[in-house]
Amino acid sequence: MSDPRPKQRYLVIYDYGQGGVWAFVWARSAEDIHRTFRDLKVMDTMPSWLEGQRLEQLENRMTFDIDDVHPGQWLARFLKVSPCSM
């Protein structure tokens, strides 16, 4: 049976030490993200620099659904399971 909780959008970052890659993930909870993706941190607040055109670009290019990640997508690199087993 599928989870009946509605999804909400979470801001995540992959911090690679000298910077980070930001994205949005639609998920039912932050815990779902932690269980599904390694190395992603769920952010509690939106950084002040992420507004206007930067926010729009992130929303358009880097928004993913936790239940619909395709092997070719950037987010697939962080799956705890192999993308082929999805």
Q: What is the mean pLDDT of the chain?
A: 88
What total number of domains does the chain contain?
Answer: 1
Domain assignment of residue 1, yes or no:
no
Decide if 2 is inside a domain: no
- Answer yes or no: is 3 within a domain: no
Q: Which domain holds residue 65?
A: 8-85
**Predicted confidence (pLDDT) per residue in 31-71, tens digit:** 999 999 988 999 999 999 999 999 999 999 999 999 998 88
Q: Where does residue 69 rank: exposed (0-12), middle (13-18), buried (19+ CB within 10 A)?
A: buried
pTM: predicted TM-score of the whole model, two decimal places:
0.83
Average pLDDT of 71-86? 68
